[in-house]
Amino acid sequence: MSSDCFIRAAAIAIFIGSAASSALGDITIPTVPIGNAGNAPDPTTGYGSVAYTYNIGTTEVTNAQYAAFLNAKAAADPFNLFNPNMAGPFGGITRSGSSGSYTYATINGRENNPVNFVSFWDATRFVNWLHNGQGQGDTETGAYPLTSTGISSNTITRHSGAIWAVTSEDEWYKAAYHQPTSQGGDGDSYWLFPTSSNSALLADANWGNVVGNTSPVGSFAANFYGVFDLAGNVREFNEAILGPDDAFRGMRGGSMYSSFFGNDLQADSRGFAYPTTEVEYYGFRVVQIPAPSSVALLAIGGVIAARRRR
């Protein structure tokens, strides 16, 4: 069992802060490119090889980004994209109004904290919405075909044409631990911690329960690829299907509660959780996949341009 399976006292409903900025209009998800396509996997664990260049969310998905999604798609909220704990002391989003006309706002000072109390299915709906152009874009099709049987059997996988997606385990692992030896990395091109190091201090990330809550994304240093908060803050769902009866989804990177000893920030700690779990120390990160067709067109364009230059 992963260390996340211990019971945490749920956020008590002490309402703090006041409804602040409403989140309307299209959002931008900052990403950084992860190059070194075709890298070898970590010889210690077998993870981390990705054949293509992709862009990964610079940070965990934030309350402000998720609130914009809620305002676009959860006026009635039949899929429970909102969790009432989001309005509590560990969350960052409040809901007003009645079903059919719900509106959402971020809590003052927590706009840029990672969204939490979200399930893996909430994450797939968020990226379907991104894939479908935001606004009134569909949440049930696109990057992930979300059929009720697929959800109940936990068998849903990424569509090959996905533009946005929840990170795969290898995409997450590579962004977190990879750094080629030739580019200043460890001897085997993989670090043990997502901080591009083989050890981590409490000052390097939000972990060890020092902060005691989530912290604004980007509060700690970025790693080799320029990615923040892969270590700690919220633990992040990935697409991997694993565990007894394939009932779980992958989790990586540890959380604000991760222990300084025997911690789960490390590359050799493969975590998992039920895809329906919604707690204060779970969140997610997205990837943006450049369309193969546009890459091919660019290549063809390059050939044409080269021929014209002759």
Give the residue nearest to Ca ion (CB): 186
Q: Shortest Cβ distance from residue 109 to Ca ion (Å)?
A: 20
- Check residue 283 and report its DSSP letter: E
Is residue 209 helix, strand or coil?
coil
Question: Dihedral, CA atoms, 241, 164, 170, 255, nearest 10 degrees?
Answer: -80
Strands 235-242 and 164-166: unpaired
Question: Binding Ca ion by CB under 5 A: which of 4, 111, 122, 169?
Answer: 122
Which one, 88 or 253, has the nearer CB to Ca ion?
253
Which one, 197 or 290, has the nearer CB to Ca ion?
197
Task: Tell me if 80 contacts Ca ion by CB under 5 A.
Answer: yes
Q: For residues 241-270, which are near Ca ion according to CB under 5 A? A: 253
Task: Tell me if 233 contacts Ca ion by CB under 5 A.
Answer: yes
Q: Under a CB-based contact definition with an 8 Å cutoff, are residues 42 and 191 in contact?
A: no
Q: Under a CB-based contact definition with an 8 Å cutoff, are residues 88 and 15 in contact?
A: yes
Which one, 138 or 186, has the nearer CB to Ca ion?
186
Is residue 114 helix, strand or coil?
strand
SS (H, E, C) 106-165: EECCCCCCECCCCCHHHHHHHHHHHHCCCCCCCCCCCCCCCCHHHHHHCCCCCCCCCCEE
Site string for Ca ion, 128-157 (x = CB under 5 A): ------------------------------
Task: Tell me if 190 contacts Ca ion by CB under 5 A.
Answer: yes
Task: Tell me if 172 contacts Ca ion by CB under 5 A.
Answer: no
Is residue 95 helix, strand or coil?
strand
Question: Binding Ca ion by CB under 5 A: which of 21, 40, 188, 210?
Answer: 188
Q: Using CA atoms, how far apart are residues 186 and 107, in angstroms rounded to an integer?
A: 41
- Contact region with Ca ion (CB under 5 A), list: 23-31, 67-75, 100-108, 121-129: 121-129
Q: Using CA atoms, how far apart are residues 181 and 185, in angstroms rounded to an integer?
A: 4
Task: Tell me if 77 contacts Ca ion by CB under 5 A.
Answer: no
Terminus-to-terminus CA distance in the chain, angstroms?
Answer: 63
- Contact region with Ca ion (CB under 5 A), list: 69-77, 99-107, 113-121, 172-180: 113-121
Number of residues lying near Ca ion (CB under 5 A): 9
Question: Binding Ca ion by CB under 5 A: which of 4, 169, 229, 280?
Answer: 229
Which one, 215 or 233, has the nearer CB to Ca ion?
233
Taking the CA atoms of the chain, what radius of gyration do you get in angstroms?
Answer: 20
Q: Under a CB-based contact definition with an 8 Å cutoff, are residues 279 and 116 in contact?
A: yes
Which one, 188 or 246, has the nearer CB to Ca ion?
188
Per CB under 5 A, residues contacting Ca ion are 80, 119, 122, 186, 188, 190, 229, 233, 253
